[in-house]
Structure 1
Amino acid sequence: MTAYASASSSAYALEDEAWWVQRWVELLNTYRFKKRLERGRIYAREGHILSLEYKGSKVTALVQGTAEEPYKLSIWLDAFSDEDWNYVIDSLSEQAIYSAQLLAGEMPAEIEAVFTANGLSLYPFNLSEVHSKCSCPDPKNPCKHIAAVYYQLGDFFREDPFVLFQLRGRSRDSILDALRQRRQSTATSTEVLAPDTELGIQPESGKATSQIDLQHFWAYTDPLDSELVVITPAETTVLDVLGKIPLPPEDAPAVMGHLKEIYQTVAQQAMMQALG
């Protein structure tokens, strides 16, 4: 994996990054000891990070310093409890767009609001909430080795945003499995009951049933009074629900404009068909 600094060069402007990468960089920028972080950035750029991986809810790394042996370090966040995660997954499963995006391997843009609604914060508010330990002799934390890994984590999050969930105590697979189970449970619980017998209602007699023309029972051929039909445009469109589509900046306006024209055309045709 390349150092984060290399991915933060002029060819990759911060505003072009995924929102979760931007949030991480913004978190780093809140740290008041800028020179210490800058030394870490240089370390990352120069390739001092030999390995970086996550094990369980921790990120572990080997960073080559001035000593012959590389320094071992680990970084972790406070993990959420199982109860907290159950509340979050219940909330996610109630929003079809969130479930669809997560099951597709995407990170919903508004997912932080789900955690906030449950009294949690997916991202730490400041670096003091990011726990770390390094085997180097520097007593200050973060040392330049830890700071280097902070920047490298931007690349880690870019490649797999679910790492952040892992740091909070749940792996990607466990979250997706839980969402699938919630969806299956919801589908089962909303099955329509069979008429009459499921509701404990018994027909009074065979005679009454035989008088009903079951083949045309649900047919309705008379037109509705036009005054009873009121069609108003939806306040939000499909494009609003889907959120920002990841497109190159130079292509985004043209593509979004084209999609809006298509949506308006389809909406008008649907309204005309509804009005007959």
Structure 2
Amino acid sequence: MPLFQLLLLAIIQGITEFLPISSSGHLILLPGLTGMQDQGQMIDIAVHVGTLCAVIVYFWSDVKEALLGLPRLARGKADTPGSRLALLLIVSTIPVIIFGLFLALTGLDDMLRSVAVIGWTMLIFGVVLYIADRRGDTGKTTAEWSMKHAWILGLWQAVALIPGTSRSGITITGALFAGYERQSAAKISMLMSIPTIIASAIFLAGEVIATADAAAARDGAIAAVFAFLSALIALTLMMRLLKSVSFTPYVIYRVILGLFLLWYAYIYGASIPETA
């Protein structure tokens, strides 16, 4: 794959994975709207691994605490901050795994890969994010994250398997509606991405890695490194901006892009080809 396309894919994934504007939607749209070669699952996995590393680095203290809590959780005890965090992250991942398997087994995941679907989800969930940002925040922090809210946010996260929804956007929306303040909502969303990305990579990796050659492995490594760098920069900027800026700029972007995609889809009857 050309180096320019690898870098473009990595930068798009890195920037959009943690911003509430849908990384999967942008990755699907790139070949569909530009005529570029579809990147395939190998590159998709690689860029997701890159962004996974970025969120682990950024939230290392929390990740370390959860990892240290796993042995205690394995003994059936969730009475420390680390074991409790690990339990909440596991619980919040269950709905997306179940829904993901359902979409894969029924073939609905391929049917949803269309410009029109991405246009509608960009528009609708952008408006929902705006409403949540204006009405939901009651000042709750990550320390108040509960089992009930882990299940609820897990259900919100499952909806993000519909292209264009945005995993970070929908979980931030759910957290805002649950009363969490902006930075805490974003932090919970980012931490939830860790087991979700790991589960997604495992689900897709077996066949892809078995059939990968040296060139594909090299392309994947390049994409992963640049996705990591761009994701770390985007994540750092977003978390800092949330101290003084609302989610409105992201909502505006989603609405404009959604309207454009709907115009494009219904004028040209555009659809996205299946992933190679």
TM superposition score normalised by structure 2: 0.23
Higher relative contact order (CA 8 A, sep 6+): 2
Larger proportion of strand: 1
TM superposition score normalised by structure 1: 0.23
Larger proportion of helix: 2
Specify the structure having the higher radius of gyration (Cα). Answer: 1
